Amino acid sequence: MKRFIVTSIIIFTAYLAQTTLMADIRIAGVVPNLLLVVVALVGYINGRTQGMITGLILGLIYDCQYAGVIGLYALFYMCLGYVNGICHKIFFRDDYTLPVIMVTASSLALGFMTYVFEFLLRSRLNFNYYLRNIIVPETVYTVFIAVLLLKPMLMIYGWAKRVKEKEVTNA
């Protein structure tokens, strides 16, 4: 229950931050993807099901407010949450390598999927341009944000877990 509340608050804050702060603080015209960071890290820390649900909810909210069709980004984020959740099995607290690799791969995959569904289908074939000018810079910023957020998120979930254990022993 605690974990559920914590995740809800994280989703809420991340979405608001991404759509207001992040969209305004553009570095070289590119916005880092905080939503992806949250989905990937929740998946990595808490496992497949949670990563999947987090991705689904964030994607759905994003779809409703910004995208044309409902479900496209929900699908993307959900799959990414699931894939990141698989790595929960080799989760190790002080390891930065794995989350960095996972976030990088997720960001690249999301960029590629967006390109395929929104640009390639409208016969924009210049993939090289989109890769160099949008997907890669976005990935770099996103990974940077992920590294900054990994420790705080681990701490929050660690706290939630401790509270839960305490409740159980007290009862």
Interaction site with another protein (CB under 8 A): 15-16, 18-24, 29-31, 33, 35, 47-49, 52, 56, 61-62, 64-66, 68-72, 74-75, 78-79, 82, 85, 114-115, 118-119, 122, 124, 126, 129-130, 133-134, 138, 165, 168, 171
- In this complex, which beta carbon is closest to another protein, that of residue 35 or of residue 41? 35
- In this complex, which beta carbon is closest to another protein, that of residue 96 or of residue 165? 165
CA 24 to chain centre: 19
Which of 71, 63, 37 lies closest to 51 in space, CA to CA? Answer: 37
Tell me the closest approach of the beta carbon of residue 95 to another protein, in angstroms: 22
- In this complex, which beta carbon is closest to another protein, that of residue 94 or of residue 125? 125
- In this complex, which beta carbon is closest to another protein, that of residue 61 or of residue 108? 61
Tell me the closest approach of the beta carbon of residue 155 to another protein, in angstroms: 21
Tell me the closest approach of the beta carbon of residue 22 to another protein, in angstroms: 6
DSSP class per residue in 33-88: -HHHHHHHHHHHHH-HHHHHHHHHHHHHHHHHHT-SSTTHHHHHHHHHHHHHHHGG
Tell me the closest approach of the beta carbon of residue 58 to another protein, in angstroms: 12
Residue 158 sits at the vertex; the CA angle it makes with 96 and 38, to the nearest 5 degrees, is 55
- In this complex, which beta carbon is closest to another protein, that of residue 85 or of residue 99? 85
